């Protein structure tokens, strides 16, 4: 076996082991599952009340927000906790590259958020009889958006602290503004020019655009461009994450 | 090739030098003890050797693999047992071991076989499906040890493996360590338990404030400190001023009272024994027991680390041959 092949398969194996461990410990818990499934429902009420848009048109936006939050909420909590209990040291002491650790942590969030996203969509479809035009675009949108934002959560947890609150408040400083500049709350077309130029920098813009395309065919950038930007964002976040984790070793 | 080679290893935390240019070699199959007081730099050294923290300067090689440049190859060879029992509380003992095995890229069958054997060795097999959060401190420690061994390491790092455990867990861990040593596994352990170092280690390094004060076999370290030999005596009756009177005996460097016994430190036990007999007759005391002792490793340790216990110099007496 060539060296690089063995290296990659070792990395992937370790990443998947870490992801499974995280899912078992942090995600597959009744309270987490219930609250994650209730989140889009609560958001739905918050949006639907007092608006006269047909309820079905809210689903793409809700799905995008749900993916953002469910993908990026656990790692910023679990990693500081693992630093405090020193279990994070286990990953560092093992013959596992930093790349694989970052990928593994992000994968667990991505798998979880994808599952929540599929469930949310299914409930939305049944409740509002909305259709899907492009199923492949939808599944790709869900998977890529989930991995993109779970990587973002992992990246923020690189901040070396054992205090969960510190990471969360940093993350929210970025996560909440994303909602307003990504065409989810305020349609892209009705944003001021400066808002639009910021929106170009937000991965959520492209995630939302891709999901919107899957549901009703409307798109600003086209599904291929959306996909490419999301993949690029994932690669960038993974690389920066690995760099930050390498640095954050004292 | 040496199992561990450390060259001028240094670690700074800001202005604080935690480890200051230490160097040593550990042979394959050797059990090497790192003995030092709190804050001496033991954990920091282990963390550098295992690639868990960066190195400020110097080098460390594990079976020839540089821990900085060839990290993964070096890490594959080693098992690490941290100071704290860092098990995943939410996972069962079994899952903890399986996960650890996966991190070391072992095959499923090998992981399961090792997990079973190790749980059995450490007396956790019956409770393997319970989450570790319900385990006692000793059980968690044993599980941590099992996790450090799941990849059948060639070099095992143990950071205070037995501290705070009861006699039974302590003995179990000691036995396992001795068995591993017999199988030619290299063991690097830190401790501040001198007796543990004495009975388990082939060689001991004494570290204090980030520097190594001495490295040698436990018995050799003791021999270096001839002046720390002592005569232990207890009399049939206590009497005020006895301690001071004993101090005035020729060749006695210091006297300490330990319970109902007096310990007279000297480089020349036979001479002191003689004058002690004369002294007892003069004072009309009857010695109930008399023992001569070589220096304990504890005394060597205290001497080398400069910790202030006993050993005040007798006024006008000879200096006790310090290194
Ligand atoms: N992460 C860190 N940041 C700053 N200083 C540190 C850090 N880790 C250790 N030190 C310092 O390095 C020195 C050595 O600490 P270390 O933990 O290696 O000691 P030790 O010999 O293991 O002690 P103990 O027996 O208490 O475990 C101490 O002065 C400690 O304060
Ligand atoms: Mg320590």
Q: From the candidates B105, B111, B131, B132, which should be mutated to test the interface with A, based on the most A CB atoms within 10 A?
A: B105
What are residue B291's DSSP bridge partners? Answer: B232
Shortest distance between the Cα of A140 and any Cα of chain B, in A, equals 29
User: Which pLDDT does position B92 carry in this prediction?
Assistant: 97
In this predicted structure, the answer to whether residue B193 has a pLDDT above a threshold of 90 is no
User: Which pLDDT does position B297 carry in this prediction?
Assistant: 72
* A24:B75 CB<8 A: no
pLDDT tens sequence across A83-100: 999 999 999 999 999 999
Note which residues in 4-63 of chain B have CB less than 8 A from chain A: 13, 50-54
Cβ–Cβ < 8 Å for A194, A214: no
Question: Cα dihedral sign for B94, B100, B106, B107?
Answer: positive
Residue B194 neighbours by CB under 8 Å, 6+ apart: B35, B296, B297, B298, B301
- Phi/psi at B5 (5° precision): -130, 125
Nearest to B209 by CA among B14, B53, B38: B38
Report how far ligand 1's centroid is from the alpha carbon of B18 (Å).
6
pLDDT tens sequence across A109-154: 999 999 999 999 998 888 887 788 899 999 999 999 999 999 999 9
Q: Which residue of A has its CA nearest to B83?
A: A86
User: Which pLDDT does position B151 carry in this prediction?
Assistant: 96
pLDDT band at residue B319, thresholds of 50, 70 and 90? very low
Strand order in the sheet with B230-235: B254-258, B261-265, B230-235, B287-293
Report how far ligand 1's centroid is from the alpha carbon of B209 (Å).
10
What is the rounded average pLDDT for all residues in chain A? Answer: 90
Q: Which residue of A has its CA nearest to B71?
A: A95
Averaged pLDDT, B153-179 = 92
* Selected residue with higher pLDDT from B142 and A1: B142
- Phi/psi at B127 (5° precision): -110, 25
User: Which pLDDT does position B307 carry in this prediction?
Assistant: 61
A235-249, B38-52, B93-107, B308-322: lowest mean pLDDT where? B308-322
Residues with CB under 6 A from ligand 1: A 250; B 13, 16, 18, 36, 38-44, 83, 192
Cβ–Cβ < 8 Å for B264, B272: yes
Cβ–Cβ < 8 Å for B98, B89: no
Averaged pLDDT, B57-73 = 96
Averaged pLDDT, A24-49 = 86
- Burial of residue A76 (CB within 10 Å: 0-12, 13-18, 19+) is buried
pLDDT tens sequence across B249-271: 888 888 988 888 898 888 888 88
For tokens 């996560």, the residue is: A175
In this predicted structure, the answer to whether residue B321 has a pLDDT above a threshold of 60 is no
In this predicted structure, the answer to whether residue A55 has a pLDDT above a threshold of 80 is no
In this predicted structure, the answer to whether residue B320 has a pLDDT above a threshold of 70 is no
pLDDT tens sequence across B295-314: 777 777 777 777 644 333 33
In this structure, which residue's CA is closest to atom 11 in ligand 1? B18
Nearest to B269 by CA among B293, B241, B297: B293
Per-position b or e across B20-33, b if 16+ CB within 10 A of its CB: bebebebeebbbbb
Residues in B touching A20 (Cβ below 8 Å): 99
* Selected residue with higher pLDDT from B38 and A236: A236
B86 touches chain A (CB under 8 A): yes
In this predicted structure, the answer to whether residue B143 has a pLDDT above a threshold of 90 is yes
Q: How far is CA B168 from the centre of its chain?
A: 18
Which two tokens mark B291?
């023992």
Report the C-alpha gap between B94 and A65 in whole angstroms. Answer: 38
- Report the percent of chain B where pLDDT is more than 90: 59
A112-116, A240-244, B242-246, B319-323: lowest mean pLDDT where? B319-323
Q: How far is CA B296 from the centre of its chain?
A: 14
Report how far ligand 1's centroid is from the alpha carbon of A93 (Å).
18
Structure pTM? 0.85
Residues in B touching A91 (Cβ below 8 Å): 103
pLDDT band at residue B98, thresholds of 50, 70 and 90? very high
Three-state DSSP class for residue A244? helix
- Report the percent of chain B where pLDDT is more than 70: 94
Report the C-alpha gap between B113 and B135 in whole angstroms. Answer: 23
In this structure, which residue's CA is closest to atom 16 in ligand 1? B41
Which residues, by Cβ under 5 Å, contact ligand 2, an ion? B 42-43, 83
User: Which pLDDT does position A235 carry in this prediction?
Assistant: 97
Report the C-alpha gap between B287 and B237 in whole angstroms. Answer: 9
Question: Cα dihedral sign for B86, B89, B94, B95?
Answer: negative
The helix (H) or strand (E) run that includes residue B258 is: strand B254-258
Report the C-alpha gap between B20 and B10 in whole angstroms. Answer: 5
Residues in A touching B103 (Cβ below 8 Å): 14, 17-18, 90-91, 94-96
ipTM metric: 0.92
pLDDT band at residue A1, thresholds of 50, 70 and 90? low
A96 touches chain B (CB under 8 A): yes
Report how far ligand 2's centroid is from the alpha carbon of B242 (Å).
42
A200-204, B112-116, B282-286: lowest mean pLDDT where? B282-286
pLDDT tens sequence across A170-189: 999 999 888 888 888 788 88
User: Which pLDDT does position A250 carry in this prediction?
Assistant: 65
pLDDT tens sequence across A25-37: 999 888 888 988 8
pLDDT band at residue A2, thresholds of 50, 70 and 90? low
């Amino acid at each position: 076996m060539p060296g690089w092949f063995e290296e990659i398969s070792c990395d992937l194996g370790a990443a998947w082991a870490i992801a499974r461990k995280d899912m078992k410990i942090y995600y597959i818990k009744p309270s987490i599952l219930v609250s994650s499934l209730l989140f889009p429902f609560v958001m739905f009420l918050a949006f639907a009340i007092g608006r006269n848009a047909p309820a079905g048109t809210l689903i793409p936006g809700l799905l995008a927000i749900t993916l953002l939050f469910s993908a990026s909420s656990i790692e910023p909590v679990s990693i500081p906790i693992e630093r405090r209990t020193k279990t994070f040291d286990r990953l560092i002491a093992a013959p596992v590259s930093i790349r694989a650790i970052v990928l593994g942590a992000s994968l667990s969030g991505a798998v979880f958020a994808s599952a929540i996203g599929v469930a949310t969509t299914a409930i939305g479809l049944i409740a509002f009889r909305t259709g899907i035009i492009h199923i492949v675009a939808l599944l790709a949108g869900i998977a890529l958006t989930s991995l993109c934002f779970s990587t973002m959560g992992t990246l923020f947890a690189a901040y070396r602290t054992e205090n969960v609150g510190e990471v969360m408040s940093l993350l929210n400083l970025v996560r909440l503004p994303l909602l307003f500049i990504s065409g989810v709350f305020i349609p892209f077309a009705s944003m001021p020019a400066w808002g639009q130029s910021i929106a170009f920098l937000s991965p959520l813009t492209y995630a939302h655009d891709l999901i919107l395309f899957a549901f009703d065919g409307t798109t600003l950038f086209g599904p291929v461009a959306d996909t490419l930007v999301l993949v690029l964002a994932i690669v960038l976040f993974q690389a920066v994450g690995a760099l930050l984790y390498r640095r954050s070793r004292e | 090739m040496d199992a561990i080679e450390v060259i001028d290893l240094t670690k700074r935390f800001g202005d604080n030098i935690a480890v200051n240019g230490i160097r040593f070699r550990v042979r394959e199959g050797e059990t090497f003890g790192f003995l030092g007081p709190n804050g001496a730099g033991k954990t920091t050294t282990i963390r550098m050797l295992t690639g868990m923290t960066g190195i400020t300067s110097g080098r460390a090689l594990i079976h020839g693999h540089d821990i900085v440049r060839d990290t993964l190859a070096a890490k594959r060879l080693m098992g690490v047992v941290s100071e704290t029992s860092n098990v995943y509380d939410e996972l069962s003992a079994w899952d903890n071991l399986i996960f650890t095995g996966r991190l070391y890229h072992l095959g499923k069958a090998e992981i399961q076989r090792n997990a079973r054997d190790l749980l059995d060795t450490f007396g956790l097999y019956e409770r393997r499906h319970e989450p570790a959060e319900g385990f006692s401190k000793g059980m968690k420690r044993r599980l941590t040890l099992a996790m450090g061994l799941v990849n059948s390491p060639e070099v095992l790092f143990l950071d205070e493996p037995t501290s705070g455990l009861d006699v039974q867990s302590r003995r179990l861990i000691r036995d396992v360590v001795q068995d591993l040593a017999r199988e030619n596994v290299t063991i690097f352990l830190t401790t501040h338990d001198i007796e543990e170092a004495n009975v388990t280690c082939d060689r001991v390094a004494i570290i204090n404030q980030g520097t190594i004060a001495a490295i040698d076999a436990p018995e050799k370290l003791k021999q270096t400190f001839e002046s720390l030999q002592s005569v232990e005596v207890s009399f049939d009756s206590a009497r005020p001023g006895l301690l001071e009177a004993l101090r005035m005996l020729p060749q006695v460097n210091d006297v300490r009272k330990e319970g109902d016994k007096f310990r007279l430190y000297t480089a020349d036990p036979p001479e002191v024994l003689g004058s002690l007999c004369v002294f007892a007759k003069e004072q009309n005391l009857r010695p109930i027991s008399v023992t001569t002792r070589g220096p304990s490793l504890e005394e060597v340790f205290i001497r080398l680390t400069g910790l202030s216990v006993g050993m005040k110099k007798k006024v006008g007496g000879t200096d006790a041959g310090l290194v």
